[in-house]
Amino acid sequence: MGITQEVTERLRALAAGEGSPEEASAWALSVMEGDAPELEEENVWNALDQLSGADLMLDPDTPMHGEEQFQQWLQEFLKNVSVT
């Protein structure tokens, strides 16, 4: 699975409340350290940047981002990329 497809799947899972923000963040940071050609695509890089912060907390009990925000990220990503 390519990075673009993986970003889509992770955003869909987070938007549906089924994904782990911590896992998505760790995955995104790992991918961003790589040299895959897809990282040159601004939309992919921006989505990875957003995912890398998916686990940020406002305080110990309150996540900064929730399903609604993840849905917005997904819509923005899909608007600007072709996923096969």
pLDDT in tens, 51-62: 999 999 999 999
pTM of the model as a whole: 0.92
pLDDT digits (tens, 9 = 90+) for 57-78: 999 999 999 999 999 999 999 9
Question: Cα(36)–Cα(34) distance, rounded to whole angstroms?
Answer: 6
Q: Which of 84, 82, 1, 2 is nearest to 43 (CA)?
A: 82
Q: What angle do CA 29, 4, 50 make, to 5 degrees?
A: 40
